[in-house]
Amino acid sequence: MSFESLNLHPALAAAVRDAGYTVATEVQQRTIPPALEGRDLMVSSSTGSGKTAAFVLPALARVLAARNAAAQRPASDEAPAISLAHHIDAPRTKPARSQARGPRVLVLVPTRELAIQVSKAALGYGRHVRGLRVVTVVGGVPYGVQLRQLSGALDLLIATPGRLMDHMQSGKAVLSNVELLVLDEADRMLDMGFIDDIQFIGQALPRERQTVMTSATFGGHVGRLAQTLLREPQRIDVASHTDTHADIEQRLHWADDLQHKNALLDHLLTDRNVDQALVFTSTQRDADQLADRLAELGHRVASLHGGMPQRRRNRVLTGLRKRDLRVLVATDVAARGIDVPSISHVINYGLPMKAEDYVHRIGRTGRAGRAGLAVTLAERRDAAMIHHIQRFTTQRIPTAVVEGLEPKRPEPKSQTQPLGRKPAGHKPGRRPGFAGKPGFGQKAIGKKAFGQKKPLGGGVQSARVAPRDRRPG
């Protein structure tokens, strides 16, 4: 389906053409029409499927429709009653700064990086919307700057729940005129403990509004939250965690210990086919220490995690997009929302805390129709999580070895069992045993053919980094 068939406003259609898009993705085809009709929606879609445009374009269409209605209304007419389709509240005279009207559209996101990504998309698709005001409210930015941005009339407000609540409690954030609420990656926001914040914000919004919620799953707490915020929602399930990620090759390497894992990582990063690599760690401390070690080896590398000041995070992301950096070492929270098509490799140096985070991680590569490689470096202690990931995705991650860097210890036995079955002899509370032979799908990869067509450089043995701490990303 082409974007022209979606009946977008001419200003939005022109912006889409400027961005080089002609054919809408499946999530855009199925989400935009009912969103334009004002329906409440529950949307499940995989990373990189075009989900952001699926709700940003209808949000901008709502802004344009309201402006058009305001321009056509005679000055002597009374303001119409609130309606789901066109909520107009423009006064006859320009309001004073103390009479801020607040945003017409509110988008809640879990992280600062995702807020920046959504804001960039809104400004890009709204480039032909005259006087469009898009404000981003996130932690790590001085309050004074955000207070100035919140004053006056807004079109779109993109915020993380915690910082928005701060401004609401101080009376600076006015949400009484919100017509559309978008909860992007609602499951992630609940994982991060934002459930009370979201409910508080939802209670402050007009009841006569449209609500769009995106989430990887709508079970459990997410489903219950949807019941309280949405009215007769339409469910749109485009893709799930069981998708095959056709553009992403996945690979699993077993490491004997940390030194062996470092050698595998160093070998992979010497590949000349690595355009840009995103290396995931489990903790902030691991991210900083690994980035320091890689920098000593001569890599153009930086770390990114939630414990860094916002200005430094912005500089790192800018360096990544400008290709000043070849390697980014990041935690799950910090990497959420990164959309850089030139990321050719995702490397799981530290495994995620939850199986669904694996899907979000590997989705950082293979974007915009490009091929990507996702490599997981696992130690024996990671066997349980690897099994959880494979059961969650219902896919086996092919095991591989590098010639000259083969593991000396046998592959965990759980890797040889069919998905959905517990290993033979396994008892709850006990660690599974290990087989004596390589397992399912194992293949050998030479040092000069690490899954690539061009020759590679050699690996580098490196010093052990400090043991991981328990701080999340």
Q: Per-residue DSSP letters for 439-454?
A: -TT-EEE-TT-SSSSS
CA distance 120 to 115: 9
Write the pLDDT tens digit of every residue in 332-344: 877 776 778 889 9
Write the pLDDT tens digit of every residue in 386-431: 999 998 888 899 999 998 999 998 888 765 455 544 444 443 333 3
211: β partners: 181
Q: Which domains does the chain have, with CATH numbers?
A: 3-71+83-237 (3.40.50.300), 248-425+433-445 (3.40.50.300)
Check residues 87 and 40 and name the one with the higher pLDDT: 40
Query: Structure pTM?
Result: 0.61
Q: Which backbone phi and psi does 298 adopt, to 5 degrees?
A: 100, 5
Write the pLDDT tens digit of every residue in 277-290: 999 999 999 999 99
Q: Measured in Å, how far apart are the chain's first and last C-alpha atoms?
A: 39
CA distance 201 to 417: 47
Of the pLDDT bands very low, low, confident and very high (cuts 50, 70, 90), residue 469 is: very low
pLDDT of 356 strictly over 80: no
pLDDT of 465 strictly over 80: no
Write the pLDDT tens digit of every residue in 79-129: 444 333 333 343 433 433 334 478 999 999 998 889 998 999 999 999 999
Helix (H), strand (E), coil (C) string for 85-145: CCCCCCCCCCCCHHHCCECCEEEECCCHHHHHHHHHHHHHHCCCCCCCCEEEECCCCCHHH
On average, the pLDDT of the chain sits at: 80
Q: Give the residue-averaged pLDDT of 313-322.
A: 89
CA distance 404 to 122: 49
pLDDT on residue 79:
45
Among the ranges given (72-81, 184-193, 359-368), the one the predictor scored with the smallest mean pLDDT: 72-81
**How much of the chain, in percent, has pLDDT values that exceed 70?**
78
